[in-house]
A and B are shown apart, each in its own frame.
Chain A
């Protein structure tokens, strides 16, 4: 396959799939890869990919030390996550609703390759909305603590968000995010969580479920393309690529994915994810599926303005350069789109006003 569509600053991502290509790299190339991959939170994943191919020892000493160091750091953080996930079902006690692993935790719970070396930032789990208060009450009784938030932020989370404010625990190194959906309930794109809950699969760990494979892809895509800031977020694409490569070995997966995107209302996120995974990461997406997801998810005008916009913001800048004006403006435009899609104007304006007031109060 031609590599023409892959931006030069992202060619190294091929090493996650084909680690042997690193053997041709000069020290100067390594220098850039170490810096960019660290910034994108992919350095640990590169280290694990090289280690599993037995190639880590042949990397030049300078970059090798950083690969080993980050591998160690990512393993420690992963260990903290596993330790937390092992104890959480016990802390929650006997409950008659499902406990669902999301994102990094789910990848570990299925022993997927993309979980190896993935630097976790927090533990994301999902429970049915009707039971989220119960789950939180049980966790608070076992030493988890709510974040200190002002009344506005409290209300924001309770009424307009798909997750509770992050919780912390003195013995746990990672924050815990308790979700009841994968997108905010007031978003213009409304995801029916009961559809997700109706199709759960067991994980490898007792007491934990995961979303259906197609829903895992759609969750990651929605998370990326509905977020407020997509700078340095190539890792989400790498996650999606890993899921597609893993689950996409069977044809039924692809047809189900396109149909499910429509059903959940996430067809635009899927079309964008498929576009960038296919051009940047050369994900093995069947040609007709790529076409169908594009037609279903992006009208021609949408494709013309959204794809270049996301391209500009997602594409990592040279590590020595400061983000250019064009990228900054593209990021601002996407932020506006994010807010627009997130809540109705009657909620958005007061929210932004409050944020602006809080910011000016903090800097005064």
Chain B
């Protein structure tokens, strides 16, 4: 089985055009929940950006962007010795400079940092989210969970990726919105995903970053085409990768679901009462399990088998 291969927009800009646009007025990335305008004087950003945001990089100016980010080469004598890139967003500079050839990871982390701090109109869970049958599968990020690996694998088997990092739940509409960015795979996950799906489109590998080696998996054309379409709450699954373990599928208690969702969210406290109420609604609405696995294919089959129950429960919830 391969990913949906719908035709991409007819005129996709080539990296050369993207590079010159970024050094001028910028390019626009519509991620679903928000639009990011990117300017860059670091030439190393254009090619990997185009490869991991396929069909998403727009050169034509838009009237509005939610974030205006800028990557600039460092000034001073360093410019000639070891070139750097610095991330800035409206005066905020969350990270120290990276080497110039690590512009893409810097853009990814910088953008994540800024949007997690600013987009307080929605509850931002720290979770991977995928969609099937209009329903969201929410996988909270816990240390050692293998969340990104599982998110990447599911996105390569027909589940629509909404986000690998942000479960953006809109308390007004009770729906998850896409924050579509490439899935950041780290260290061994890179090889695992290459072996799992040899046709997977991965960007360049960046060695020796602050999180080890990183490579980014491009979202599928279907995920890109549908990034404006939200998903209703479906199920919460806590993945845990455990070397050599048989696949286990265990019901999770509401107490665990509530605390995990709330206390791993980026802006739970800032959301105040509406954040609390949103997590209560999600906990009541979503069946939840723990998924312990070592074999990716088997983990995916387990999820597929469980999904009809999620669908039925969602149908009965929405019945009058």
Contacts and interface: CB of A to CB of B under 8 A. Distances in A.
Interface of A: 27-28, 30-31, 35, 38-39, 62-63, 65-66, 68-70, 72-73, 75-76, 79, 232, 319-320, 322
B39 A320 contact: yes
Nearest to A80: B269
A79 B63 CA distance: 35
A66 B118 contact: yes
Contacts of B270: 72-73, 76
Interface stretch (B64-72, B129-137, B191-199): B64-72
A1 B63 CA distance: 32
A75 B90 contact: no
14 contacts: A27-B63, A30-B64, A31-B64, A38-B90, A65-B121, A66-B118, A68-B120, A68-B121, A69-B119, A70-B118, A72-B121, A73-B120, A76-B270, A319-B68
Contact of A70 (B90, B120, B271, B272): B120
Q: Looking at chain B, what size class is its interface with the partner chain?
A: 10 to 19
Contacts of B121: 65-66, 68-69, 72
B90 A27 contact: no
A232 B91 contact: yes
A76 B63 contact: no
Interface in B242-295: 269-272, 274
Contacts of B66: 62, 65-66
A69 B120 contact: yes
Contacts of B118: 66, 69-70
A39 B91 contact: yes
A30 B63 CA distance: 10
B124 to A, nearest CB: 11
B281 to A, nearest CB: 18
Contact of A39 (B63, B90, B274): B90
Nearest to A38: B90
Contacts of B119: 65, 69
A120 to B, nearest CB: 13
A241 to B, nearest CB: 22
A73 B66 CA distance: 16
B269 A76 contact: yes
Instruction: Please report whether the interface of chain B is mostly helix, strand, loop or mixed according to DSSP.
Output: loop
A38 B121 CA distance: 15
A65 B66 CA distance: 9
B120 A72 contact: yes
A254 to B, nearest CB: 35
A27 B64 contact: yes
Contacts of A39: 90-91
Given A68-B120, A75-B272, A76-B269, 10 more contacts: A31-B63, A31-B65, A35-B68, A38-B90, A66-B121, A72-B274, A73-B120, A232-B91, A319-B68, A319-B90
B67 to A, nearest CB: 10
Nearest to A316: B91
Contacts of B274: 72
Contacts of B72: 322
Most buried by B among A27, A68, A69, A320: A69
Interface string B72-98: 100000000000000000110000000
A72 to B, nearest CB: 5
Contacts of A322: 72
Contacts of A320: 39, 68
A170 to B, nearest CB: 15
Contact of A28 (B63, B68, B269, B271): B63
Contacts of A69: 118-121
Contacts of A30: 64
A314 to B, nearest CB: 15
Contacts of B65: 31
B68 A62 contact: no
A171 B271 CA distance: 18
Nearest to A322: B72
Contacts of B271: 72, 76
Nearest to A26: B63
Nearest to B63: A27
B197 to A, nearest CB: 36
B269 A62 contact: no
A319 to B, nearest CB: 6
A320 to B, nearest CB: 7
Contacts of B120: 68-70, 72-73
A319 B64 CA distance: 14
Nearest to B88: A322
Nearest to A30: B64
A62 B68 CA distance: 13
Nearest to A28: B63
A27 B63 CA distance: 7
B272 A35 contact: no
Q: A-B pairs with the 10 shortest C-beta distances?
A: A69-B120, A62-B64, A39-B91, A69-B121, A76-B270, A65-B121, A27-B63, A72-B120, A73-B120, A68-B121
B38 to A, nearest CB: 12
Contacts of A66: 66, 118, 121
Interface string B90-126: 1100000000000000000000000000111100000
A333 B91 CA distance: 22
